[in-house]
Amino acid sequence: MASKTVLQLKSIERHYGEGDMMLSILKDADFELRSGETVALVAPSGTGKSTLLHLAGLLEHPDGGEVIIGGKSCNGLSDDERTAIRRSEIGFVYQFHHLLPEFSALENIMMPQLIAGLREAEAKERAAQLLDYMRIGHRGDHRPAELSGGEQQRVAIARAVANAPRVLLADEPTGNLDPKTASYVFDALEALVRQSGLAAMIATHNHDLAARMDRRVTIDGGRVVDF
């Protein structure tokens, strides 16, 4: 099956501040992500990795250029339309899991599905499947504080893909974990991407993990380049 482009960034410009104080972070940046593909985003601190992920995930607006998701340009969309695309097409994983502390692992994964309008029984079944898939099926009733860092991050990944997005964007998802746990979490993430045809862009400082991805890109002079 030929993979198709699920995310495209075209001539993206992003700067902060104004006049003499203006800081250009992204300049004429292009990027393409295809279904089933994992891409590592490896660049020094402050070069714009989070900015790029936020733009790709429609959390920020570019100052120029275009973000295209599933073949549709997101320029000119209302905030509600952007939110709808974000909820259905994009999953986010952050360095810190941001799970809701008062809910169980299972409930945390059900939440985005219920918001998307799924019935409780369906959401529960999918949440349980995802937990099994991440090899923590036996931890569904536990709250985040009762889980290890690696388990919490696997729940966060399961939650990010609960609504079967096209694109997974991860900002240092294993940055908070020891190398062995990071590798184990990444195994689960990788298996999920391969099995589902999801596309993933993962910012990481971990060169061993980056080496396992299909492609590696960096940010150089405001542009996204392969390395």
Ligand X SMILES: Nc1ncnc2c1ncn2[C@@H]1O[C@H](COP(=O)(O)OP(=O)(O)OP(=O)(O)O)[C@@H](O)[C@H]1O
Shortest reach from residue 193's CB to ligand X, in Å:
22
Shortest reach from residue 217's CB to ligand X, in Å:
13
Shortest reach from residue 43's CB to ligand X, in Å:
6
CA–CA gap between residue 68 and residue 78 (Å, rounded):
15
Is the CB of 50 or the CB of 152 nearer to ligand X? 50
Contacts to ligand X by CB under 6 A: 16, 25, 43, 45-51
Shortest reach from residue 120's CB to ligand X, in Å:
37
User: Which residues neighbour 201 within 8 Å (Cβ) at sequence distance 6 or greater?
Assistant: 7, 33, 39, 41, 53, 56, 167, 168, 169, 170
Is the CB of 137 or the CB of 222 nearer to ligand X? 222
- CA-based R_g, the chain, Å: 17
CA–CA gap between residue 96 and residue 87 (Å, rounded):
20
Is the CB of 50 or the CB of 206 nearer to ligand X? 50
Is the CB of 41 or the CB of 199 nearer to ligand X? 41
Residue 15 structure tokens: 């700067």
Shortest reach from residue 79's CB to ligand X, in Å:
18
* Contact (CB, 8 A) for 147 and 137: no
Angle of CA points 23, 26, 29, to nearest 5°: 160
Q: Is the dihedral of CA 145, 113, 127, 158 positive or negative?
A: negative
Shortest reach from residue 218's CB to ligand X, in Å:
10
Helices in 38-178 by DSSP H: which ranges? 49-56, 79-89, 105-115, 120-133, 149-160
Is the CB of 38 or the CB of 95 nearer to ligand X? 95
Is the CB of 48 or the CB of 91 nearer to ligand X? 48
Which among 11, 41, 39 has a CA at the least distance from the CA of 26? 11
